[in-house]
A = this chain, B = another copy of it.
Amino acid sequence: MHRRPTNGKLFLRGPYRLPVMPRAVTVGLHAAIVAVTEEEPRILTVSEGAADRRLAALPFGPLDPDRHRTLELGLRVWVHEQTGMELAYVEQLYTFGDRDRALAADGRTLLLAVAYLALVRERQVAEGHTAAWQGIYRFLPWEDRRDGEPEMFGSHIRPALAKWVNAATENSVRHERRGRADITFGSGAAQWDSERVLDRYELLYEAGLVAESARDKEPAAHAVDAIRPEVGFGAPLALDHRRILATALGRLRGKLKYRPLVFELLPGTFTLLQLQRTVEALVGVRLHKQNFRRLVERGSLVEGTGELEPDTGGRPAELFRFRREVLHERPAPGVGLPGLPAGQ
């Protein structure tokens, strides 16, 4: 969007007039492409140069209204060009556009980022593409609580948060910070809410605890290869991409409960334990096995195929398939999370 003479006709078919013409905005389409393999949620990243000199980024490209009929189609084009991947399930996440956090190198162009979540089954990345799958918890390590609170949480995050809280000189600010830290990270009266992924990342960002905070404040002082993961606070990503990743994971965790999204990540047939492990990997907590099975079976989300999977290490498990019909039956069919009192 460039400055030029205002033209009332330009914007609308109707008689509405836009009072002022804006300066310079660029619209980017960004994809958080998620898969779960070997009980680990992964994200597809790209990197255009030598891996050791560049930060990983999510696949992205600018919206081109000439080529892209819709935003989502534009996204698919970019993803295909950069990773060779054809996306099935795609959903829009959020549009980011803070001036402080998404300014182009010219310091004048605002980079508007429309972020998407895509779910796929992990595949080998096609020839000729440098894209790579990486574990999501490499970037957001505090989000994985399947084996209880991770070690780095107590050793690094909690103390750093406490320091941040006490760094406030004003009493009211300190109180406000403590409350916010309690809610987002589930200390004090509040419990851990697995969906508040973005809140947690944002808090760490504001507290200056992730590499991106420093980079955005002092772009000059932080050339790309100067950005290094800080121990315990996860690896950084290019641009705003860790924020997008956090948004994606939070949305996915929430939506899992009322939409049958997991099945986008699983093969056509799967055992109930595979299903459970996939959900656990995403939500980052362990679930009660028998109750989980009861829920998905009673919810008629799956049906047995009669076939058995013998490689379980124990008794062979029956293979199930997703019953697509539920989409036509109930309003909000999700996997439901036994042991997780709504919202956890």
Contacts and interface: CB of A to CB of B under 8 A. Distances in A.
A132 interface: no
Nearest to A192: B331
Contacts of A14: 54-55, 57, 224, 238-239
A100 B65 CA distance: 11
Given A2-B4, A71-B95, A343-B258, A190 B329 contact: yes
Contact of A97 (B24, B26, B71, B196): B71
A64 B22 contact: yes
A12 B239 contact: yes
Interface in A1-29: 1-2, 4, 7, 9-28
Contacts of A343: 258, 330-332
Nearest to A224: B14
A189 B1 contact: no
Interface stretch (A107-115, A117-125, A275-283, A305-313): A107-115
A144 interface: no
Interface of A: 1-2, 4, 7, 9-28, 48-49, 54-55, 57, 61-71, 81, 92, 94-95, 97-100, 104-106, 109-112, 114, 179, 182-183, 188-193, 195-196, 215, 219, 224, 238-239, 258, 327-332, 341-344
11 contacts: A13-B104, A13-B105, A16-B48, A21-B64, A22-B65, A68-B99, A95-B95, A189-B328, A193-B331, A195-B332, A331-B344
Contacts of A342: 258, 331-332
A94 B97 contact: no
Among A16, A19, A81, the most chain B Cβ lie within 10 Å of the Cβ of: A16
Stoichiometry, copies per complex: 2
B66 A22 contact: yes
Nearest to A9: B105
Given A14-B57, A16-B239, 18 more contacts: A1-B26, A2-B4, A10-B105, A13-B215, A14-B55, A15-B49, A16-B238, A19-B61, A22-B62, A22-B66, A27-B112, A63-B112, A70-B99, A71-B95, A71-B97, A92-B95, A190-B329, A331-B341
Contacts of A2: 1-2, 4
A219 to B, nearest CB: 5
Contacts of A341: 331
B22 A63 contact: yes
Contacts of A64: 20-23
A69 B2 CA distance: 17
Contacts of A189: 328-329
